[in-house]
Amino acid sequence: MSSFPVLKGREAILAAYRAEPFVSCFLADNAEGVVRDDAVAWFREFNGRSVLMGDGPVRATARLVAELAPHWRPDRLTVPQEVFEQLPGELRSAKPGRWHWFFTRSAPPTHPAESRVRWCTESDFDAITALLDVAFPDASSRPDPAVPHRRWFGATDANGSIVACGIAQVGDGIGPMLGSIAVHPDARRQGLGSAITSWVTRRLLDEGNAMVALGSYAGEEATHRIYRRLGYRDTRVLASGRLEPSPAH
């Protein structure tokens, strides 16, 4: 275990490090963290899962994460890709997910199709699940009324059917973080991806959030161009993976 003190809580970690947008986005209120050599590593629990994250100079961050992982024993690890490549083998998932982290502090222009967008309710969950099965089967989030801090939104067609959707993860100091943004194949090329993203970004900023963030899988350049046009900036390419339990579990 590090000889440096473990900081308790979001505000204590930010005070010792800095209010960098990426770190601020993922520091839950219940996080524990260590700051050393201008690097930060922190452990948080969210929706029943634990994750170890880190940021800062590559080598210093990799050393800190490797030192703290046996202490916290997280379920998952998420760090910048260049940090991931410096970690010892036991911390590198064989098939890590690689994704771009975007954020914005500015409301995008209104999209003409935003009139079709609304917040969804639990009564829409079956329709959203069916949409994700077709449009985004690998989505990391699915509707689940038992999971808190998730707000689904969607766009409808002329018949009122949900043909585009997404999720905003909020609360406990996280985000807001958008994800699972999907458009039905039959409804594409109508600007609905842009419309639902601009609509929800504006509303979350209007609610007083300092920023809105989102994640998008690496390689999805057409999607990334849409987010950049809406004012989002991708400042990190991240690697995420599940960790095997240690014998001490």
Non-local CB neighbours of 28 within 8 Å, separated by 6+ positions: 10, 44, 45, 46, 172, 173, 174
- Predicted confidence at residue 239, as pLDDT, reads 97
Q: How confident is the model at residue 88 (pLDDT cuts 50, 70, 90)?
A: very high
| pLDDT, tens digit, 9 for 90 and up, residues 139-163 | 889 999 988 889 999 999 999 999 9
- Predicted confidence at residue 246, as pLDDT, reads 56
Of 162, 152, 144, the C-alpha closest to 121 is: 152
Helices 192-206/221-229 angle, 10° precision: 40
- Predicted confidence at residue 86, as pLDDT, reads 96
**Could you identify the residue written with the tokens 């998952």?**
76
Q: Cα-flanking dihedrals φ and ψ of residue 110, to 5°?
A: -70, 135
Q: What is the mean pLDDT of residues 64-82?
A: 95
Mean pLDDT of all residues belonging to the chain: 93
Whether 248 has a pLDDT exceeding 50, the answer reads no
d(CA 67, CA 83): 14
Following CA atoms 110, 111, 113, 116 in sequence, which dihedral angle do they give, to the nearest 10 degrees? -30
Following CA atoms 49, 55, 60, 64 in sequence, which dihedral angle do they give, to the nearest 10 degrees? -20
Whether 225 has a pLDDT exceeding 90, the answer reads yes
| pLDDT, tens digit, 9 for 90 and up, residues 187-204 | 999 999 999 999 999 999
